A and B are shown apart, each in its own frame.
Chain A
């Protein structure tokens, strides 16, 4: 493995004071004059918050936008499922919030594994996002006086979270979608639904187009553009079960990785502590229960292994409220990564509950006794109803069963301060990039990042690149680079369809998911990581020999789509394990058992790992090469988190 920290990775963070960097940078970015904007075509892949906001904003400026989604409408992208809210440093409640404080909370929450300048900019533009969304008609919660309401979220000390009941993501996405549809009506955006990007086309080292599969007809299509924006979300579905939607996938970013785009911190995954546990092998998807439940729910498991009594028959002295015991000052509100890991440990000890033994109780009995059922109903009524719908158990009477689940990937394609990957003309926005959340994402900041990238960063930074390329030759879809990319894509599809093996795609995906969850999940160690790299590679080999894909290419064929995605997970999973093995420290969601204190707390190694690991593809059957971007903390001092 080679380590380099010069040449390939220039973060392009501007000089100067943290507070002035973004403004100064904007002063220096080149502009494209209005008459020239219409000469450029921008391909936007993915239409969630990042993609829809970018597509709308760029079309408003006069660029020609082609927007692609794998779904039948941009309005269904998975940003829609975000519940909690979106942070901004408005300080409307007068409780002491500032841009600095939002920045500081976010970079500390990320366990000091993100860039100061990026995170500060995120906090800076957060307020404009709220203004923009309100102007679009997003119905945020309001007070009786007519002004916007805020709440505290995820243990924050200030109330900076804006929300629209439990459906904030839906309302923000529909706002961005409406802005997009307005541009569709003007003709500045051409919408391509049910299209999946299967390759990136590069000419002279620059991104110049994409190859997609029309998911209705199976046709392979070519689109040329002056820049490509990847807004394709996270890759949590590598684990098979996650809170992601079924169609979320890693193919677009993975195909770009294989064309030379570097992948930053692939092992950084967030595992959320409060999800409804798996109920059987047929389970296809996990559902998140809002973190706010931990304000009143007490988490426990039986003291003794194999105690199968119903929870209400287990007396107080036979219960272990393990979070309260281990973290007396934070108790049930210990951070996401710490809570998730603790649940895993008690289940590993055989003290897990429910049929599978992979769950812990979250018990509201004490709160109901103290506050009354009506108060609990007012606070969590909708969540309790959702829980009952899925599990058929009444949480007012029996404790909820919860278990951690994969929820977000902080890793993603490496980008510089301009959101440009190391391939000129290829930009990566939202969850698809690695940039702003470091080792762990705070609640209510994913929506903020997606919209910041799309509304307020890319319109500036993209013009700089396009201005520079005003006179470069336009590439048509008849260019040989398109021929080559199309051929490789059709070859891959025929190869898959011709395997005609015995096992279904789902069988393979489940197996991969188990390997990833057990070895590259909440708790990782060298031995397991080394062996899982081998196992994934064997599974991949078996996949290409024995997968059974039904039907034809030239029609709607969702299992073929799925197979192409799983083929990429088989490679990405290995890179995630490799990155986890290489990072000899514990930070944020990445916990290496070798790097912990005597009482089991994470130990970061700032001396050697205050950096971004960025991986470069070197060819089939070759080990990827690691590059390093050092993180320099000029304005904050990294500290060790403690919740004792």
Chain B
């Protein structure tokens, strides 16, 4: 099949970028989207041109490396699918696809489709953990966790940290990402001792990194490949409010 691509090319953060047109006339429908980009890069290199840089690693939807906006949709048009798991058979012969990186002030440009997402690591360092040293904690079964809360904690813990939520949000908010971790730990008894300190520090760090706030657009939930629910944002707000009112 033939696919027309308009791909964002940018040398570095100091040089303006632009969309460049490419046409591939031998795309196999069984290729994944990233394999099509590999294919394009092979061709570019054989023509002596510079390949398109993009982040990728596991190519099975779990590492969160891939970060492409396709025709305005983070991770492309299919629900609960990271772009590495999107296959070309989902497109029609002759389709045009605009390929862009995540765009957010807190994710500075590195090159082409690669951006710097280290702000997420700093939000995690602000409090996305339980303070327990390696050693000899109590037996794993010493603290029972009811199945309902354990399953909910898992649902939130499934976040792959890709940043699609930020890319999709008109405010470039990282609320879904931050709320997912806060909600995971708030649903577990192990997370209780640091509950208030955690939410305040993580939310403050999110603002400091330059992410916007949440206005309940819910675009994040729509694009999340791990299907994280925006109830996590509601939970984060409730936790934050409770924490502030008591810390006062």
Contact = CB atoms under 8 A, between A and B. Distances in A.
Contacts of A551: 50-51
A152 to B, nearest CB: 19
Given A128-B136, A131-B137, A550 B28 contact: no
B140 A167 contact: no
Contacts of A184: 121, 125
Contacts of B117: 72-73
A282 B51 contact: no
Nearest to B112: A556
Interface string A277-321: 001101111010000000000000000000000000000000000
Given A139-B188, A144-B146, A283-B35, 20 more contacts: A72-B116, A80-B58, A80-B63, A81-B60, A132-B132, A135-B138, A139-B150, A142-B146, A146-B147, A170-B62, A170-B160, A181-B128, A182-B129, A184-B125, A185-B125, A245-B59, A246-B56, A279-B28, A287-B60, A389-B87
B72 to A, nearest CB: 22
B96 interface: no
A220 interface: no
Nearest to A507: B42
Contact of A559 (B45, B138, B141, B147): B45
A146 B190 CA distance: 13
B11 to A, nearest CB: 8
Query: Chain B, interface size: which category?
Result: 35 or more
B120 to A, nearest CB: 7
Contact of A556 (B30, B44, B110, B128): B110
A78 B190 contact: no
A133 B132 CA distance: 10
Given A134-B143, A137-B188, A556 B64 contact: no
A247 interface: yes
A31 interface: no
A519 interface: no
A179 B131 CA distance: 8
B169 interface: no
Interface in A165-199: 165, 167, 170-171, 174, 177-179, 181-182, 184-185, 191, 193
B51 A81 contact: no
Interface stretch (B151-159, B210-218, B229-237, B238-246): B151-159
Contact of A191 (B28, B121, B154, B158): B121
Interface of B: 11-12, 28, 30-32, 34-36, 38-39, 41-42, 44-46, 48-51, 53, 55-60, 62-65, 81, 85, 87, 89, 110-111, 114, 116-118, 120-121, 124-126, 128-141, 143-147, 150-151, 153-154, 157-158, 160-161, 184-185, 188, 190-191
A280 B121 contact: no
Contacts of A390: 85, 87
Contacts of B46: 504, 548
B5 to A, nearest CB: 16
Contacts of B139: 131
A182 to B, nearest CB: 4
5 contacts: A81-B60, A81-B62, A130-B140, A135-B130, A246-B56
Interface in A24-83: 53, 56-57, 60, 71-78, 80-81
A81 B48 CA distance: 35
A550 B139 CA distance: 54
A53 B135 CA distance: 12
Contact of A182 (B51, B125, B185): B125
A282 B56 contact: no
B59 A135 contact: no
A57 B60 contact: no
A459 interface: yes
A191 B51 CA distance: 29
A257 interface: no
A147 interface: yes
B121 A181 contact: yes
A285 B60 contact: yes
B38 to A, nearest CB: 6
Given A137-B153, A179-B129, A78 B63 contact: yes
A322 B146 CA distance: 45
B231 to A, nearest CB: 16
B17 to A, nearest CB: 14
B129 to A, nearest CB: 4
A245 B191 CA distance: 32
B29 to A, nearest CB: 8
